[in-house]
Chains A and B, each alone.
Chain A
Amino acid sequence: EVQLVESGGALVQPGGSLRLSCAASGFTFSDHYMDWVRQAPGKGLEWVGRTRNKANSYTTEYAASVKGRFTISRDDSKNSLYLQMNSLKSEDTAVYFCVRVTLTNYYFDYWGQGTLVTVPS
């Protein structure tokens, strides 16, 4: 069974930093691209960014709203995905989801339950 379990969410002051983790199991993690998606309270979903797999040199993509502040990384030996968030702003307050991307077609097929990051204004 595919499982994605996020952790690391917290209350952090503006300008602060936080690192989220996602523990993956039930599939060959190293094969898949992995994404982070967030959802602000009462709002829709916003894509944060992507890390490709080793075959694609672990290259990354980011939303403009987080580029230069957030960094996505992965450790295939630990089946783990990370999101390093720096210079946090109140508008970064959201539930952050770890999401698996399908091997072909590149859609989101499995999501974690999410972890809440709160940055007060």
Chain B
Amino acid sequence: DIQLTQSPSFLSASVGDRVTITCRASQGISSYLAWSQQKPGKAPKLLIYSASTLQSGVPSRFSGSGSGTQFTLTISSLQPEDFATYFCHQRDSYPITFGQGTRLEIK
């Protein structure tokens, strides 16, 4: 199974900050990685797919990059509604696997 390791697991930041979250795969997955956002009690929301393609309707302050084993999600200027948990998932091979999540909280 492909393991996805996110870092950091917890991040404290302020409105307006630029933040970066990393997802590292245990083996190469080309660009078959997505990022999603989950708020408590809500359904997850797809932000980025194919490592760097912004999902329709997602603000442009979100961006993704990387390929192979190292991927990043960047939020260029944090907004109050961005405080949530972010997770990556890979669809390169079965079983589909997820990162453990990064909880982004207001400083």
A residues sitting closer than 8 Å to B (CB atoms) are 4, 35, 44-47, 50, 61, 63-64, 97, 102, 105-114
Contact = CB atoms under 8 A, between A and B. Distances in A.
29 contacts: A35-B96, A44-B98, A44-B99, A46-B98, A47-B89, A47-B95, A47-B96, A47-B97, A47-B98, A50-B96, A61-B94, A61-B95, A63-B95, A64-B95, A97-B44, A105-B50, A106-B91, A107-B34, A107-B46, A107-B89, A107-B91, A108-B34, A108-B46, A109-B49, A110-B43, A112-B43, A113-B42, A113-B43, A114-B43
Contacts of A108: 34, 36, 44, 46, 89
A107 B46 CA distance: 9
A44 B87 CA distance: 9
A113 B39 CA distance: 11
Contact of B49 (A44, A46, A107, A114): A107
Nearest to A111: B43
A100 B98 CA distance: 16
Contacts of B45: 111
Contacts, number: 53
B69 interface: no
A112 to B, nearest CB: 6
Given A44-B87, A44-B98, A46-B98, A97 B43 contact: yes
A102 B49 contact: yes
Interface string B37-70: 0000111111001100001000000000000000
Interface string B70-107: 00000000000000000101010011111111000000
Nearest to A3: B43
Contact of A44 (B36, B55, B96, B100): B100
Contacts of A106: 91
Contacts of A114: 43
B99 A109 contact: no
A64 B49 CA distance: 25
A103 to B, nearest CB: 12
Contacts of A44: 87, 98-101
